[in-house]
Each structure stands twice: as structure tokens, then as C-alpha cells.
A and B are shown apart, each in its own frame.
Chain A
Amino acid sequence: MTKVAIVGAGQSKYGEFPDKGIKELFFEAFKDMAASVDKGLDPKGIEAAYIGNLGSGGFQLGNMSALVAEYAGLQYIPTMRIENACASGGYALVAAIMDVLSGTHKVALAGGVEKMTDVSGLKQKYWLGVSGDTEYERLAGTTFAGLYALIAQRHMHEFGTKREQLSSVAVKNHKNGAQNPKAQFQREITLEQAVKGPIVAAPLNLFDCCSTTDGASAVLVCDAEVAKQYTDTPVYVAGFGTSSDYLAIHDRISTVTLEGTKKASERAYKMAGLTAKDIQLAEVHDCFTIAELLAYEDLGFCEKGKAGPYLDEGHTQISGDRPVNASGGLKSKGHPIGSTGTGQAYEMFNQLRGTVQKPSRQVKKAEIGLVHNVGGSGGTVSVTIMRR
């Protein structure tokens, strides 16, 4: 499929910004996106906007998409807030793609924004902990760290996955993120540090978990026919897929598989006429280190249960044959919930066009890449495949 193109992408810095709210953050990403459009962008040409968002910093429960759009100068267009927890951004991207694919609009904006550091620690845990199954999982005393720890424990039990392998995900992603000027944590960590982090939800420690982050991102999606009006080097949407799964882990067929990732990627591969083997690089949802290992398996990069060895063999390093999370991933870049999915698309857009800010994390000559965004512990998943 080469009917839909991405012609611009922008991202705010990710981190803690007391001086910026969702409006300002979104506008920062929007301006960055506009500047990335090679032949210039007249904002009046944007016909619709899909905004991924979960909590709006706790203040705007409804109608936030109109608010951030008008602040950025987009008035009187269809806007929609897309909420699928941590996969909100990925679904906003898919919504924009489907809009253009349907022929309704030629040019649509997909974006995402989250303001997480405005609220107290208690409220943060409230926002973060109620996108799993609230009735049973939350009331058993877990937040997402606990839920992913349940998966990790079982993965270790069934496949012999090692503590060091979980930590190696964090080490790799921090190494990459250290080369990302927009990442929240631009510093490397050692394996020893990562292994000995303070326990949050055993077996997961602090270095297995991503942080709370402020940030926004924006991606300009258009009909391939008009793409060259914006740039000579568009990135095309080769395929996409989304899937739900049982919200509560205890209801799932397998505790160690995100069926949503499997289904969403199978659909995306089929639409693109590709297989996992064709994917040259990926931005996957590593909200917890175990989540990246699950992604390797469920996206088909390796067999079920073999993610640990697959990581150890170096395939997913920037120097490997299939770099994963060259951006630093959620782990190092930060995870501003609603922005994460379109933020991954921002990275992929630049990777495929060779325009990554720091050449040290530029993956050489990549043509086909995949972005993978997971909501909660896997209740919603989106996968989008892009090619040059």
C-alpha cells in the first residue's frame, strides 16, 4: 500500500517542563513538524486533527483536542481526541491514516500530548493505574509495574529469561537515548546499575520502568498523490494494524504473549505484503524492559521465548541487523502517554529519511521500519509499517 504518505513530523523535547501545559507542549511539537516540511506548510491546508491523549494533566476531561488545535492555529476543522491509554498516539496516527485512505480528507494531522508532571505523585499513580483492569487488577494492589512484573515472572519461569536480559534492554535504550537531544534521560547506564536498581515490583526494579514525562508530537499525514507538494522524500505508510485484547492479564490465553501485538502486526504485515523478516528497524513499546522482549517475540522478530538470547546476540543494537528503539525508547526518551505513538512515528520518519538529529544514532540505509504502540498491559495495540 502506498496510498498514504507522511510528509512532516515533529516532537517537543520530552522531560519535565513546569512552564508548559498541554497547549504549549503541543504547539512546540506542531511548530517542529511544520519546520520539517521541506517545501513549507500552510497550516490552513490541514483538514483534520486526531490527538492522542489520556489525562490532560488532570484538568480537561473532555474536548481537549479542540483546545490544543485552536491554540496551534487550527480552527474550525474536525478534531478528535483518541484515547487508548498508552497507545493513544499510535491509534491517533492510524485514525489519520484511515481518514486519508477513506478519501474524506487529503491532509490530516496525527498528534499526541501528555502533561504528567503537573500532578501530585498520588494523582500520577491514579492516572497511570486505571488503564488496566481497575476492578480486579488495580484492586489486587497493582499498578502497571506490578502487571508487567507478573508477565516477567512467568516469562522467566517458562523460558529461563534472565534478570540481566531485562536489564540489558534498559542499558541498550539508555545508550541510544544518550544520543537523542530530545530524550528525557540522555545518559548511559551500566548493566550493574540496572541489575541493582531499587525494587519497584519484583522482579522489576526502577531501571526496568519508564518514567513519567511531559511531551508532545505531531505527524503530518497526506494522500500520496499530494505528497510531493510537501517534500521530495516522503515516507509511505506500507501497512497498519490494530487489535484489542482482554484488558485483564488473568483473562488472557497466555500470560507471556501480547495477543494484541501479534494480531495487530499480522494485519500490518498482510496489508504491506511483508513479513517480520522485512523489517529493518523498529520503535517498540518498552514501557517496561519485559515489554520490549515481548515485542521481539510477538512482532515475529524471534521465536516465542527466545527474546533474551535474541537481545544478547546484538541484533537490536544500532549496530545490529535490526535496531530496535534507536531513539532510546520509552525507557530513555520518556513516555508522555498520549504522545508516545506519534513520537515513535517522528523517530521513524527521520530514520527512514536519514535526518536523525545526531548521526551517531542514525540507522544506515534503512528502508522499511515498524512502530509499535501498546495501551496498558496490552489491552490495545497499534502497529504501523513505514517505508521510504
Chain B
Amino acid sequence: MAHVSVPMYWRTIPQRYKMIGQKCKKCGHVNFPPKGVCKYCSVSSEFEDLQLSGRGKVHTFVLISSGGAPPEFAEQEKAGGMYPVAIVELAEGPKVIGQIADADPKTVKIGMPVKTELRKIYTEEDVIRYGFKFVPATEEK
């Protein structure tokens, strides 16, 4: 079981529930998840919050099978079978990793459009950790 403490998880709620990114005041690039110093210009640590669209395209993906699932995701794999995890290139520029829900693993492809939705991520210390997952964007408007 990976241990992510409750306060540590709580600190990331703006990202996990709402896709709040950081727009660099110097170079204008968008960081997500947040950085101390902008990873694009490596200079500025001044940002403004930016609500991201949650939309993007699959940059690469993996289908996690029982042998590859961490203990806290083992039940999910056992209940639902192998699950896709992707690095998604968001419309605003940054890439971020996340599961793809509601998709037949066979249909997941590089370039496939996806968008974020709130889902249960995992449960630790009896506390449900909610956060974004990606779902196929063509499925609904």
C-alpha cells in the first residue's frame, strides 16, 4: 500500500478535483501538476491559477494487468480486469498521468481524445481518495 497521508492528499485537491494549473507569469506556459519554479523557463516562481479544460489526447498508455497493479489498485483490477493508464497531453500544454475509465482497453490508442471526471481513486486508512480520471471524450459532450 502506497502511503499518501491524508493532509498530503488534501493539499492536492485543487489539482485532483478541479484541474487547477499554474500559468507562469514570465513565460506564459502552463504547469500541471504545480512546480516551485516553472519547468519551461526555469526562472520564474510566480504563477497565476488557471482552470484547465480537462481535455487532452493520449500521448502514451499502458494496460495494467494483475501483476502490474499496486496493492491499493489490486481490487480494482480483480473486479474490472486490466485497466488503462495514460500520459495525456492536455489542451493547455502540460502532460499528466491518469487512469482512463469507461474505456474498453482494446480501444485505447495514442492520440485518442479524453477528458477528466471525478472518480474514486483508491481508499487508504478507510478514507476514500477522490480525484480525476480520464474518460473517452467522444462518449458524451
Residues of A whose CB lies within 8 Å of any CB of B are 122, 125-126, 129-130, 134-143, 145-146, 149-151, 153-154, 157, 198-204, 206, 246, 248-251, 255
The 9 closest A-B pairs by CB, nearest first: A201-B68, A149-B62, A154-B60, A202-B63, A200-B67, A141-B73, A250-B95, A200-B68, A145-B68
Q: Is A125's CB under 8 angstroms from B62's CB?
A: no
**B10-29 at interface with A (beta carbon < 8 Å):** 12
Q: Which of B39, B70, B76 has the most CB of A within 10 A?
A: B70
Q: Is A250's CB under 8 angstroms from B64's CB?
A: no
Q: Which of B39, B60, B67 has the most CB of A within 10 A?
A: B60
Residues of A within 8 A of B99 (CB): 140-141
Instruction: Write out, one digit per residue, whether chain B residues 39-65 have a CB within 8 A of any chain A CB (1) or not (0).
Output: 100000000000000000001111111
Q: Is B97's CB under 8 angstroms from A248's CB?
A: yes
A130 CB to nearest chain B CB (Å): 6
Supposing A143-B70, A246-B39 touch, asked if A122 and B64 sit within 8 A by C-beta, the answer is: no
Q: Is B60's CB under 8 angstroms from A150's CB?
A: yes
A-B contact pairs, 25 of them (CB 8 A): A130-B2, A134-B4, A135-B8, A135-B33, A136-B97, A138-B70, A139-B2, A141-B76, A141-B99, A143-B69, A143-B70, A149-B68, A150-B61, A150-B62, A150-B86, A150-B87, A150-B97, A151-B60, A153-B60, A199-B63, A201-B62, A206-B67, A246-B39, A250-B87, A251-B39
Judge if B135 is at the interface, Cβ distance under 8 Å: no
Q: Is A139's CB under 8 angstroms from B60's CB?
A: no
Supposing A136-B97, A150-B61, A255-B60 touch, asked if A142 and B68 sit within 8 A by C-beta, the answer is: yes
Residues of A within 8 A of B4 (CB): 134-135, 139
A-B CB contacts (within 8 Å), total count:
116
Residues of B within 8 A of A140 (CB): 85, 97-99
A139 vs B122: C-alpha distance when bound (angstroms)? 8
Q: Is B68's CB under 8 angstroms from A136's CB?
A: no
A134 vs B97: C-alpha distance when bound (angstroms)? 12
Residues of A within 8 A of B131 (CB): 139
Q: Is A250's CB under 8 angstroms from B110's CB?
A: no
Judge if B96 is at the interface, Cβ distance under 8 Å: yes
Given known contacts A139-B122, A141-B76, A143-B70, what 8 new A-B pairs fall within 8 Å (CB)? A135-B33, A136-B96, A140-B85, A141-B85, A141-B122, A154-B110, A157-B60, A250-B96
Q: Is B87's CB under 8 angstroms from A249's CB?
A: yes
A157 vs B59: C-alpha distance when bound (angstroms)? 10
A204 vs B64: C-alpha distance when bound (angstroms)? 9
Supposing A126-B2, A142-B64 touch, asked if A137 and B97 sit within 8 A by C-beta, the answer is: yes
A145 vs B62: C-alpha distance when bound (angstroms)? 9
B107 CB to nearest chain A CB (Å): 14
Residues of B within 8 A of A198 (CB): 65, 67
A113 vs B83: C-alpha distance when bound (angstroms)? 34
Residues of A within 8 A of B110 (CB): 153-154, 157
Residues of B within 8 A of A157 (CB): 60, 110
**B122-141 at interface with A (beta carbon < 8 Å):** 122, 129, 131
A199 CB to nearest chain B CB (Å): 5
Residues of A within 8 A of B87 (CB): 150, 249-250, 255
Supposing A139-B131, A141-B76, A246-B39 touch, asked if A125 and B71 sit within 8 A by C-beta, the answer is: yes
Judge if B30 is at the interface, Cβ distance under 8 Å: no
Q: Which of A146, A200, A206, A248 has the most CB of B within 10 A?
A: A146
A198 CB to nearest chain B CB (Å): 7
